[in-house]
Amino acid sequence: MSKLRQHKLFSLGLFLVLVVISLCIVSFFYLPQDPNVMNTINRFQSPSKEFLLGTDQFGRDILSRIMISSRYALFIGLVSVFLGAVVGIVIGALAATANGWLETILMRFIDGLMAFPGILLAMMLVAVLGKGLWNAVIAIAIFMIPVFSRLTYSLVLDQKNQLYVKAARSYGASKSRIIFKHILPMILPRLITQFSASIGSAILIESSLSFLGLGVQPPNASWGLMLSESRQYMLTYAYLAVPPGIILMITVLGFNLIGDAWNDSIVSRRMAE
């Protein structure tokens, strides 16, 4: 029963993510319209055969823009979480195994980063680094560091007290051997889960940044930017806000579901053991 449900959720998540990924892949080969070409005569069109999701305030095809945007979303999501995870895991593992002042300094620094309300840290970093794709990636990656280092830190500490590690230590295994051979394989599933779930939140942050004008820059398309542009037409053409909002939600939901289903299966596997 539980297995089946996990499986279903996982499949749903996978399906949603695949929808977005295929939108992205297709966009490299085929787009219904040029996403950046303005045609002011066609603006604010309702969905039609020519424009499946209608057109925006400049007469650009919304579907094409959504497809193009998926590239940014996936790219920023994957790359920033990957960078953040690598740095975060290293810091977390270092802090958990190092003793004394290094542990304190690292973890207090992470606590310090964590005290910045998410989007604010990214906003500040973008202000420092300047706008642009890579800067957004770096800003979001830095935002992701604390999550991974805290998780790694607590998992490693947890494992350190497990019997098998104590045993390994009593046999005289080296520190790095314990981490890489014993602890890392044990905590990797949890980290992968976190990775998947973080992609969702990274994409959300990217869209928030773009919504505030700090992420992807016009005339390029991004879901957050499309929402921000739709904002001034909320009363007249509220429809503009629907497609980007929904695709954004689908993407985040997809990654979160995969992460959750994974997590559940890890938990239940552990229970079965």
Partner 1 sequence: MLSFIVKRLISGLTVLFFISIITFFVLRWMPGDPATLSLGTEGTPEKIAELQEVMGLNLPWYQQYYHWLQDLFSGDWGSSYVFGEDVMTLIIQRLPVTLLLAAVSMVIVIPFAFIIGIMSALFKERWVDYIARSLMQLGDAIPQFWLALIFLVFFASKLGWFPVAGYVGFDNGILASIHSVLLPAIVLAIGQVGPLIRIIRSSMLSSLEQDYMLMTQVNGLPKTLAIVKYALRGASIAPLTIIGMQLANMLAGAILVENIFALPGIGRLLLMTVEQRDLILLQGMLIFVTSAVVLVNILTDICYRLANPMIRFGGNHE
Partner 2 sequence: MKRFKFIFSVLLVSIILVACGSSTDEEGSANENSNLDSTEQKEESNTVNIEKTELNMALSVDPDGLDPHRTTAASTFQITSNIFDTLVTVTPDGEIDENLAESWGISDDGLSITFELREGVVFHNGREMTADDVKYSFERLKDEESPRSGDYANIAEINVIDHKTIEFVTDSLNVELLSNFAYPWAAIVPEEAAEDLRNHPIGTGPFKFEEWVPQQQLVLTKHTEHYDPASLETVNFKMMPDVTSQVSALQAGELDIIAVNGDLVGQFEGNPDYTILENRSNSIQLMAINTEHEALADQRVRQAINLAVDKQALIDTVWWGYGEEIGSHYPTMLKEYIDTNSVLSYNTDQAKALLEEAGYRDGLELDMYLPASYPAYVDAGQIIANELDAIGIKVNIEIVEWATWLSDVYTDRQYDLTVVGHTGRLDPYDLLARYHSENGENYFNYSHQRVDEILTLVQEEQDDAKRLDLYQELQQILAEDVPALYIQSPITLTVTASDVAGYTSYPIDIYQMKDVYFTNK
Partner 3 sequence: MMEKLLQLEKVSIDDGLGRALIKNASLTIFQGEFIGIVGESGSGKTLTVKSALDLLPDHLVITSGVRQLLGKELNGLSSKDKRRLIGAGIGFVPQNTVVFLHPMIKIKHQMIDAYLYHIDNDKKQALKKASDLLEKVGIKEPKRVLNAYPKQLSGGMQQRVNIAMALMTDPKLIVADEPTTALDTVVQRQVMELFNQLNQSEGVSILFISHDLKIVKQFCQRMYVMYQGEIVESGETHEIFTNPKHSYTQKLLSLIPTLTNLSMDKFG
Between 27 and 217, name the residue whose CB sits nearer to partner 2. Answer: 217
Pattern of binders to partner 2 over 195-224, x per CB under 8 A? Answer: ------------------x---xxx-----
- Identify residues 168-207 at the interface with partner 1 (CB under 8 A): 200, 204, 207
Residue 234 contacts partner 2 per CB under 8 A: yes
Task: Name residues whose C-beta falls within 8 Å of residue 213's C-beta, 6 or more positions apart in sequence.
Answer: 225, 228
Distance of CA 118 to the CA centre of its chain: 13
Distance CA 255, CA 14 (A): 8
Among 18, 37, 40, 130, binds partner 1 (CB under 8 A): 130
The answer to whether the CB of 98 falls within 8 A of the CB of 106 is: yes
Residue 71 contacts partner 2 per CB under 8 A: no
Residue 231 contacts partner 2 per CB under 8 A: yes
Helix residue ranges, H only, the chain: 2-29, 62-97, 101-114, 118-129, 133-160, 163-170, 175-177, 184-211, 223-231, 242-272
Looking at 29-37, 132-140, 167-175, 238-246, which segment touches partner 1 (CB under 8 A)? 238-246
- Identify residues 141-180 at the interface with partner 3 (CB under 8 A): 163
Binding partner at 163 among partner 2, partner 1, partner 3, none, C-beta below 5 to 8 Å by kind: partner 3
